[in-house]
Amino acid sequence: MKALLAAGLVILVGATACGGGEGTAGGAKQDDGTVTLDWEMWAGSEEEKAQLDHVAQLVTQQHPNIRIKLRTAPFNAYFTKLQTEFAAGKQACVVSMQSLRLGAYADLLEPLTAPEGFAPASLDALKMDGKQLALPYDLSPMLLYYNKDAFAKAGVAEPKAGWTIADFEKAAKALSTGGKFGFGMSFSDLHTLSLLLSYNGARPVTDEVKLQMDSQPMVDAVTWYAGLGAGKSASVPAGSAEAGWGETQFINGNAMMAVDGSWNIGSTIKDAKFKVGIAPLPAGSGGSKTYVANSGFGVAKGCAYKEEAIKAVSVLSGKEAQAYLAGQGRGFPARTEQQPVYEDFLVKQNQDKAADVQAAMSSVKEGLAGGVPLFTTKNWDDVSKLMAQHLLQVYTGAQSAKESLTTIQQQGARGQ
């Protein structure tokens, strides 16, 4: 889930066969029968590009008649690019997909058959209307990151399994001192909505995946969340463009707690200038809850080489690829057999903080036990922008939760 390379970068994995061939928007077939498939994926660094090159080469190693042509864009531009390509009929055959964006592409992806070995939650998050639309490669719950040094200095008990919303509120207040804040707020979908879910079970969409931002549980939960800022227990984002405000304030030492995904465990423990603790989200009346998100690989319905594309996806989401990506620290694997590899990577990366890593991984497993997929509307990107714009008004006291959520509902429902 890291942001990746520059838009438009194209990498050809393996040399194409000599001679002419028939081409489509998603791939091409050479005269010798070799098929080259376009694979669309987000990337943000040379290191990540090299990792993608490696797993793409695994496809050719297992299927010599299939080669992969990688097309990448930064994560924050990826889905805009993907929408444009699908609209123009220029989509790749192999399409990388994030679970939160699946609703917008459900009619454009080929149903797949899921093999055994995946954590059930990872498959569920990439499924709609009973159809498996992508095979996963990672799985991520949202967690509470906290500053162990600050808790010790303030004499506040550290978060742990069973920690409640009341405990969280008390700690946030006690830790807000000296120009620092107990909690870093957010309006990013997973970060904010997971804490609201744990608070009172508030959900932004119905079981039928219809927007319900103005439901009473949502109003109550957002009112509570905004109250953290009003009560000076939390740092309010400086503007609607500050999507990663809470996480940034935490790593900078300005907020003592923040909600963040399991994908940042390694980098946060490594980069923070203080001891990092990680716990499940504080429990409301229904216990500790979180939304689970992940990414995976699907096959475009318009692909002219679906048989080859399905084989490619099987390799990209397969045991060898997931073990490799986990060993590079890309994320917690969706395949259960490969999950210990990720913990081994984190321990090696933070040998002097092995106990912290092991505690964090215990929290990941507890978070997954209380996690549910966040299914979203087809226009979720638009809804997310509305959330950033209007929830900030609630946090600053310019509007009530009911007013802002009603506006988000009315404008967001138009594009469902």
Question: 37 Cβ partners below 8 Å, 6+ apart?
Answer: 26, 27, 66, 67, 68, 69, 92, 93, 94, 303, 305, 308, 309, 312
Q: What's the confidence (pLDDT) of residue 49?
A: 85
* CB-CB neighbours of 407 under 10 Å: 17
Residue bearing the bigger pLDDT, 15 or 325 = 325
4 — pLDDT class (breaks 50, 70, 90)? very low
pLDDT tens per residue across span 44-89 = 888 888 999 999 999 999 999 999 999 999 988 899 999 999 999 9
| Token pair listed for 81 | 């690019």
Q: What's the confidence (pLDDT) of residue 385?
A: 92
pLDDT tens per residue across span 233-250 = 999 999 998 888 999 999
Same fold, 10-139+294-349 and 140-292+379-413: yes
Q: What's the confidence (pLDDT) of residue 356?
A: 84
pLDDT tens per residue across span 95-136 = 999 999 999 999 999 999 999 999 998 999 999 889 999 999
b/e 222-253 (16+ beta carbons within 10 angstroms → b):
bebbbebbeeebbbbbeebebbbbbbbbbbee
355 — pLDDT class (breaks 50, 70, 90)? confident
Question: 57 Cβ partners below 8 Å, 6+ apart?
Answer: 13, 14, 68
266 — pLDDT class (breaks 50, 70, 90)? confident
168 — pLDDT class (breaks 50, 70, 90)? very high
Rounded CA separation 314/327 (Å): 19
| Token pair listed for 138 | 């990672």
370 — pLDDT class (breaks 50, 70, 90)? confident
HSE-CB for 282 with a 13 A CA cutoff: 25
CATH code of the region 10-139+294-349: 3.40.190.10
Using DSSP's 3-state secondary structure scheme, residue 168 falls into helix
Residue bearing the bigger pLDDT, 175 or 372 = 175
b/e 162-180 (16+ beta carbons within 10 angstroms → b):
ebbbebbbebbbbbbeeee
Q: What's the confidence (pLDDT) of residue 320?
A: 97
Could you tell me the residue ranges of all domains in the chain? Answer: 10-139+294-349, 140-292+379-413
Rounded CA separation 237/225 (Å): 13
Instruction: Give CA torsion, residues 194, 248, 219, 381, to 10 deg.
Output: -80
**Distance spanning both ends of the chain, measured CA to CA:** 25
Question: 311 Cβ partners below 8 Å, 6+ apart?
Answer: 59, 63, 66
b/e 28-58 (16+ beta carbons within 10 angstroms → b):
bbbeeebbbbbbbbbbbeeebbebbbebbeb
Q: Is the pLDDT of residue 1 over 70?
A: no
Q: What's the confidence (pLDDT) of residue 171?
A: 98
Average pLDDT, the chain: 90
Q: Is the pLDDT of residue 364 over 50?
A: yes
Q: What's the confidence (pLDDT) of residue 15?
A: 35
Q: Is the pLDDT of residue 18 over 60?
A: no
Could you tell me which of 304, 186, 199, 309 has the C-alpha nearest to residue 248?
Answer: 186
Q: Is the pLDDT of residue 9 over 50?
A: no
Q: Is the pLDDT of residue 329 over 90?
A: no
CB distance 96 to 55 below 8 Å: no
Q: How far does Cα 373 stand from its chain's mean position?
A: 11
pTM: 0.85
* CB-CB neighbours of 384 under 10 Å: 19
Dmax (CA) of the chain? 72
- The residue assigned the tokens 């996690």 is 371
b/e 92-110 (16+ beta carbons within 10 angstroms → b):
bbbbbbbbbbbbbbbebbb
CB distance 95 to 257 below 8 Å: no
332 — pLDDT class (breaks 50, 70, 90)? very high
Rounded CA separation 363/190 (Å): 17
Rounded CA separation 334/270 (Å): 23
CB distance 56 to 321 below 8 Å: no
| Token pair listed for 109 | 């992806």
Q: What's the confidence (pLDDT) of residue 24?
A: 64
HSE-CB for 22 with a 13 A CA cutoff: 3
Q: Is the pLDDT of residue 204 over 90?
A: yes
Q: What's the confidence (pLDDT) of residue 403?
A: 97
Q: What's the confidence (pLDDT) of residue 75?
A: 87
CATH code of the region 140-292+379-413: 3.40.190.10
| Token pair listed for 5 | 């390379």
pLDDT more than 70, % of the chain: 94
DSSP for 318-356, written as a single string: SHHHHHHHHHTT---BSBGGGHHHHHHHHHHHTGGGHHH
Sequence length of the chain is: 416
pLDDT more than 90, % of the chain: 75
